[in-house]
Amino acid sequence: MKQFSILCLLLLLQAAPGAAQSPARKGKDYAVFFYVTSFQPGWQGLPDTKAEAEELKAELESNYGFEGKLVENPTRKQIYDEIAAWNKRLGPDDQVLFFFSMHGYYDPGSELGYLIAADGLYRDEYFRTWLDYNSLRPYFAKCKAKHVLVALDACYSGSFGVIEKAPDLPAYDEEQDCETLIAASFKYTARQYI
């Protein structure tokens, strides 16, 4: 988890303090952490998710100017409701990190991945109490924020991402400075999943 968390921060912040709050952008930076420590009977608890989410939130707030929110032990419905509320709040100049730390599952028969919220039943034959990735993706697509990063710290989370063609960009120019590159990157709408 620790290495994954560091990777998330580096990708989101482009490894430079101040990059998130570039003068080329007027929006705000937000981070929403969904984490589950206690599950329904049958699932093993994940007690470390709380401390790790709190540590990431503190890092983003103190060093990068983010506004963070912790959502502890959310149910499936609470996750959908929270994302929908953020979608109403966020504007086109904002960027947001949605971070999930909980159990995950992959069903090879349907080729679908799932997140297990606090109310997810252990033996759910039809996966009705779990969050399937196909149902979550449209919530992120509707988000008005220009840049959305979804980070999943869960088993089988690799099945979440949809491969899409990146915008055509010119090759890296050694003459360009970091500020110019960062400003150019804010021209594009982005939905990234890691």
Joined together, the tokens standing for residue 89 give 């709040």
Q: Give this prediction's pTM.
A: 0.76
Q: Write down the residue that tokens 């697509």 correspond to.
A: 141
User: What's residue 14's pLDDT?
Assistant: 44
CA distance 72 to 50: 8
The mean of the pLDDT values for the chain is 81
Instruction: Tell me which residue of 13, 64, 19, 66 sits closest to 178, measured CA to CA.
Output: 19
Rounded Cα distance between 79 and 97, Å, is 14
CA dist., res. 146 & res. 96, Å (int): 9
Note the pLDDT of residue 96.
96
pLDDT for 166 equals 46
Q: What is the pLDDT of residues 117-157, one digit of tens each?
A: 999 999 999 999 999 988 998 898 899 998 999 999 988 77
pLDDT at 3: 47
CATH topology of domain 27-163+173-193: Rossmann fold (3.40.50)
Below-70 pLDDT ranges, the chain: 1-25, 158-194
Give me the pLDDT at residue 78, please. 98
pLDDT for the residue 165: 43
